[in-house]
């Protein structure tokens, strides 16, 4: 399996809220995570992020991704994904009761690989506008 295939399996499982259990086979056991967004400031592992994404589909049950770009850089052993996460806060959970407000937030992922598995994931995301659009900030 190529790093492209592995990244795709992880990406789809993570973005559809399957959690760490489904994402783990694509990753090193100690895979790290980084993001400069305040909403994810305490998440430091890919496992934590995969479960965070699973949790976000509680308040946003129709949450889904729109894929914009997916590329592999074999020289750097990395895969980059750009997407838009869309959905409406109609479910329970989140910092406030359901607002009925929608989100369309752009983000990028960079997956670094070691031995054919994800060793580090970077998320590039501006959480401020996303949280405001949902009425959460």
- Report the alpha-carbon distance of residue 134 to residue 115 in Å, rounded: 39
Is pLDDT at 93 greater than 90 in this prediction?
no
Report domain extents, the chain: 3-134
Give residue for tokens 């973005």.
15
Average confidence (pLDDT) over 91-102: 93
pLDDT-derived band at 103 (thresholds 50, 70, 90) equals very high
Decide yes or no: CATH 3.40.50.2000 for domain 3-134.
no
- For the entire predicted model, the pTM comes to 0.96
Instruction: Please state, rounded to an integer, the average pLDDT across all residues of the chain.
Output: 97
The span from the CA of 38 to the CA of 100, in Å, is 23
pLDDT computed for residue 78 by the predictor: 98
pLDDT at 130: 95
Reduce the secondary structure of the chain to three states and give it as a string.
CCHHHHHHHHHHHHHCCCHHHHHHHHEEEEEEEEECCHHHCCCCEHHHHHHHHHHHCCCCCCCEEEEEEEEEECCCCEEEEEEEEEEECCCCCCCCCCCCCEEEEEEEEEEEEECCEEEEEEEEECHHHHHHHHCCC
User: pLDDT tens across 55-74, in order?
Assistant: 999 999 999 999 999 999 99
């Amino acid at each position: 399996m190529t790093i492209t295939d592995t990244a795709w399996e992880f990406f789809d499982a993570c973005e559809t809220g399957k959690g760490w259990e489904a994402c783990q086979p694509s990753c090193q056991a100690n895979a790290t995570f980084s993001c400069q967004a305040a909403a994810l400031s305490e998440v430091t592992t890919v496992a934590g992020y995969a479960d965070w994404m699973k949790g976000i589909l509680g308040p946003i049950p129709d949450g889904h991704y729109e894929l914009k770009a997916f590329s592999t850089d074999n020289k750097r052993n990395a895969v980059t994904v750009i997407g838009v996460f869309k959905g409406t806060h109609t479910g329970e959970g989140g910092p406030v009761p359901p607002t009925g407000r929608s989100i369309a937030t752009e983000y990028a992922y960079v997956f670094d690989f070691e031995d054919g598995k994800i060793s580090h994931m970077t998320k590039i995301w501006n959480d401020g506008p996303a949280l405001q659009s949902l009425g959460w900030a």
